[in-house]
Structures are given as structure tokens and as C-alpha cells.
Structure 1
Amino acid sequence: MSASPFEHPFLSGLLGDADMAPFFSVEADVGAMLAFETALARAEAAEGIVPAAAAHRIIDALAGFEPDLAALQAGVARDGVVIPDLVRQLRAAVGDEAAGFVHLGATSQDVIDTGLALRLKPALALLGRRLDAVVGALDALQARDGAIEVMGHTRMQAAIPVPAARKIASWRDPLARHRTRLDAVAAGVAILHFGGAAGTLEKLGDKAGAVTRRLADLLDLAPVDRPRHSERDGVAELASWLSFVTGSLGKMGQDVALAAQSEVGEIRLSGGGGSSAMPHKVNPVGAETLVTLARFNATLLSGMHQSLVHENERSGAAWTLEWMLLPQMVMAASTALRHARALVGQVAFRPLENGAVGAPARDARS
């Protein structure tokens, strides 16, 4: 056991994802926050709020900046958020009069939420590519095995024969719908968070709108009419989507595990896990992992919905809850898609023997 199985030295072999993990590394986190501060200096200089010389000094200093992580850790323990000590370090690195222009008009949540948006964009693009790969693999499975007649089951009992295509479609089609929804979900989180202390950008005066537009353009994020510091529907919708994806994959995993049972044998798996005590076994590890990750994300989703309750203009409690839950949900979805792609490649449907498997129940009521 460990606090994070996604990063554990050996549990990560099952639950980790080397392609997704870098988006949630400390390097990516710091890099995204520095990208915000650099772009802010550029945008404010373009609007005459920050002197050009000061902006250049900020940009140069941040380009090679390496934070004191121990000091950041101590700062978070004290302040509950990383930005106060990060800004202190940035101002020390910039030095002279230019230091006073670092982070001008912004607040901690602007930097952290925008930094998250910058990291979620490529993370969601990766999930989209993996969804495409799983759907494509299921299309290939259907083309090969779709006409094979297998037993349909209702309420865990043999019902009537159905084509394998019927089962494959119940795995594929929800994933295709989730893929269609992804663009809207991604648009809901790929936004600029910029509002200053209480969402009014009061320090920028009549230049607030122009700076916001320039900043959004520099970061390739969508500007919004007002900051969404306490409006968390975007990240909650993402969490719901992540749970939809893992839930649909979990349904596929459960079906495969049941059909591959020795006593059933409707599906043959070309690969699986071994047993330390029973060498004859081939355990459906990939299928089981899909079920686990579906249940994991379904559990965390309720916590993300709790984080919708932000009191007034900003909540420390609800915000911190997001930090704890959302990265794990993204990792779980990415890992599930990785396992799903491999699992589909291992599946082969077996035709019914003598027209039936088991004895269908006499009462076919659903």
C-alpha cells in the first residue's frame, strides 16, 4: 500500500501511467505557474501598466528560475497555498525596482487555476487519442468476431444467443459518445482564470479587459467574462466525464472477466496474470483493473461535487479538495484507457457449442 499507487515504485506498473504522470509533476506545476507570470508581465507591458524594461527583466529572470522547493513546502504549510512564497522567490530573483511589478494585479487562485488549465489541455488531448485507439480496436474486434454467435445474459443468467457484435457495441458506443463530449468538456476547463483579489481586477483599472484578452491569447486559453474562482462547474463536469469514461470501461472489463471464466469460456484471453500458488491460472488482470478504476473514480466523483460548494468569492477548503481528487481521477482514466486498449487486443470470442451455453431460464422476464 502507498499514499499514491499511481506513483508507487511497483504498484505503478499496474496503476500508473508514464505518459500522463508528467502533467502532474512538480516540474509541470511550477512551469505552468511561471508561464502565467511571464505572460502576465508581457500583457501588462503591452498595455503600458508595467514598464518595458521591468517586463524584460521579469521575463529573463523567470526563464532560468529554479524554485527553492523546501521553502515552497514551508510556505504552503504556513499560507495554505504556494503562491505567496513563490512570488517572494520570484521577486528576489528579479531584484531591483522591477521586482515590484511581478504578479501585479493577480492573486494566488489566478496562477494556480490557470496553471492547472495549461496542464489539463495536453492531458485531455492524450485521453482523446487513447479513446480513439480503444474505439478503433473495438471496431477491429467487431469486424473480426462480430458475426460469432454467443450467449446473451440478463441478470447473470443465460438468455438467448446474440451476435458478438451486440456485446461489442455495448462497449464501444458509450466510449464514442464520451469522445464526442470531450471537446465541450475540454473547453470548460481550458479557460483563463484572472480576477485579482476578489475577482474585480481593481488594480488594473480600465485596462483590465485588454490585459485579460492579451493574457488569454499568450497562454492560448479562452477568456471569460469574469473569473470563475468560486464557479467550479467546469472542473466538476470534467470529473463527471472522467467517471463516465472509467465507468464505461469498467462495464467492459466486468463483461470480459465474466465471459472468460473457466466455467463459461465465451471469451478466450491471449494474455493475463499468473498466480503464485496456482500456475495453471491466467487471471484477467486487465479486465479486473478496469472494474477497480471505475469504482475508484465513481467514489472520488462525489468529493468533486462537494467541491462545488465554494463559500462567497473563494474557498480554501473546497479548492484544496480539488487538488487532492482531480489529478487522481485523470490518472485513473488514463490508466484505464491504457489497460482497455491492451485488453481488447487479447479478446477472442468463442462460438456457442451445440447452439447453447448452459440452459436458458424458462422465465425470460427481465
Structure 2
Amino acid sequence: MAIHPIDYRYGTPEMRAVWNEENRFRAIVMAEVALARAEAAHGMIPREDAETIAASAPKARLERAKEIEAEINHDMMAIVKAVTEVCGDAGRWIHYGATSNDILDTATALQLRDSLALIEEKLGKLLCVLLTRSAETKTLVCAGRTHGQIGVPTTYGLRFAIWASEVSRHIERLRQMRSRVVVGQLTGAVGTQAALGDNGIEIQATMMEFLGIRSVDVSNQIVSRDRYAEYFMFLANVATTLDKIGLEIRLMQRSEIGELAEAFGK
């Protein structure tokens, strides 16, 4: 049962789909497939086995992974076993040379990539609306206010322009941070890539190329969490602007002011 408004009212189906459990599982499977393909490309495992893994791994099911996890109490190993089961003899190469967070953090990067794409699209639409409204209302005079008290006149065009300026900076920030946030890794248990032999850096680069994301420059067992922190701070920054816009609309549509009106329904 959903208990948070983001789940049952405000969250979009598209964003919920990015972060739901099934998509998380699929992202992990995609990372495992990319790992096998990259290792085959560099002669670490047989190419035909990698092809079998690529064709068979998507048949793995979350429900089966949960059954295994209930028995062994390890989430990542349960997924490895579930994928191995559907890959036949080629399954012996699943997860070869990797540590858990090589796959888990790389899967997170895929989810971050998709979520940022959705956010960028929606911010772009919002920016277009604000710019249009700014042009339409550039001579629409209204009372300017400071500390809630009426000051000198201003225009709604200026208000919309200020909001548009903020949103444009958020889009700029998003594009700038994408290369820092959307990164995967294949560095092994302590970051030395020892299990990958002499071609560790190349195998990592090939794996991420298959997935369409960037590689970390350096890491230990996990992708450094400052990357995720930047993503969260960006979301908070965007939320601050949306709160600012929403609060202004709420205040200006009060019965005793009535400058604005918010439509309900389609």
C-alpha cells in the first residue's frame, strides 16, 4: 500500500517506472550482460558464451531472484544465480571478475541516466511555457511586493522571466553534472581491477560503452557517493524553484487578491 503522496498522487508513472523494483532488476541484468560482452571483446571469456548470455540473461525473472535471496540472504548473489540458471553452461561466466557494487552501482548509473533524461525533458517544457508567458505578459502591470506589502509596479512578464531564468540554470546544471553523476565502474573488491588482469581499464571502458555511460576515473569498492550527493542537491535546488513558483501562485490567487487563478482538471 502506497503511503507517500509521491507514490499515489504526485509521482509520474515515467519516473516511478525508472526506480521501481522490476526496472532495478533489469538494469542489473543489463550490467551483467555488458560485463560478459566486454570480457569477450578482450578475450577474457569465450565470445560464444557472451553471446549466449546476451540472448538468455533477459529471460531471468525478479521473482526467481527473490526466491533465491530468501534462501541465501544475499541480494546480488541471488540475482547472479537467477541469471546463471537461464544461461546454461555459459552461466559460469556471469559476474566473472566483478564485485557486487561493480554491477549495483553501474545499474544505478543507468537509472540516474534515465531519470535525468526525464527531468531535463520536463524542465525544457516548463522553460518554454515560462518564456512564452513572459513574452505574452511583458506589459501586464501588477503590484510589486516586498515583505508582502505593495511596492512600486512591476509586470508579470518580469516574474515569468525570473522563473524562466532559474529553470534555464537548472537545465545547465543538469547537463554539466551528467558526466559526473552517470558513471559505472568495474574495479573489483578494492578498486585495483586485479581480477581482470592487464586489461582492466580497457574492459571497464568497453563495458560502459556497451551501456552508453561513462566510466569512473578511479574508485574503490563503490562509486564515490559525492556523485549521488550532487544529484540529490540538484533535485533540492529544482524543488526550491518549483516551491517558489507554486507559493507565488497560491498567494496571488487568494480570494482577497485574485490576481491569478489555477485551473483544475484537464
TM-score (ref. length: structure 1): 0.67
Residue 128 of structure 1 deviates from its aligned partner by: 0.9
Distance 1:29 1:72, change over 3 A: farther
Say if 1:147 and 1:163, in contact at 8 Å, map to a contact too: yes
Give the distance between the partners of 1:208 and 1:125, measured in 2 at CA.
Answer: 30
In the alignment, structure 2 segments of 5+ residues that lack a partner are: none
2:119 to 124, 127, 131: 127
Say if 1:147 and 1:165, in contact at 8 Å, map to a contact too: yes
Give the distance between the partners of 1:65 and 1:129, measured in 2 at CA.
Answer: 32
The SS at the match of 2:151 is strand
Say if 2:183 and 2:216, in contact at 8 Å, map to a contact too: yes
Could you tell me which amino acid in structure 2 is paired with residue 5 of structure 1?
Answer: P
The SS at the match of 2:188 is coil
Distance 1:254 1:56, change over 3 A: same
Could you tell me which amino acid in structure 1 is paired with residue 249 of structure 2?
Answer: V
Higher relative contact order (CA 8 A, sep 6+): 1
Give the distance between the partners of 2:71 and 2:61, measured in 1 at CA.
Answer: 16
In the alignment, structure 1 segments of 5+ residues that lack a partner are: 274-341, 343-366
Give the distance between the partners of 1:193 and 1:149, measured in 2 at CA.
Answer: 55
Residue 109 of structure 1 deviates from its aligned partner by: 0.9
Q: 1:259 matched to which residue of 2?
A: 252
Q: 2:141 matched to which residue of 1?
A: 149
The SS at the match of 1:7 is helix
Say if 1:5 and 1:16, in contact at 8 Å, map to a contact too: yes
Give the distance between the partners of 1:73 and 1:261, measured in 2 at CA.
Answer: 54
The SS at the match of 1:161 is strand
Matched, 1:232 2:225: yes
Q: Percent identity?
A: 29
The SS at the match of 1:19 is helix
Residue 134 of structure 1 deviates from its aligned partner by: 0.8
Say if 2:143 and 2:150, in contact at 8 Å, map to a contact too: yes
Give the distance between the partners of 1:177 and 1:75, measured in 2 at CA.
Answer: 49
Deviates more, 1:158-167 or 1:239-248: 158-167
Say if 2:76 and 2:100, in contact at 8 Å, map to a contact too: yes
Give the distance between the partners of 1:59 and 1:133, measured in 2 at CA.
Answer: 37
Distance 1:73 1:144, change over 3 A: farther
Residue 137 of structure 1 deviates from its aligned partner by: 0.7
Tell me which protein shows more helix as a share of its residues: 2
Say if 2:65 and 2:79, in contact at 8 Å, map to a contact too: no
Residue 73 of structure 1 deviates from its aligned partner by: 5.4
Q: 1:58 matched to which residue of 2?
A: 53
Residue 189 of structure 1 deviates from its aligned partner by: 1.7
Give the distance between the partners of 1:18 and 1:139, measured in 2 at CA.
Answer: 27
Q: 2:83 matched to which residue of 1?
A: 90
Pairs within 5 Å for 1:188-267 = 188-227=180-219, 229=222, 231-267=224-260
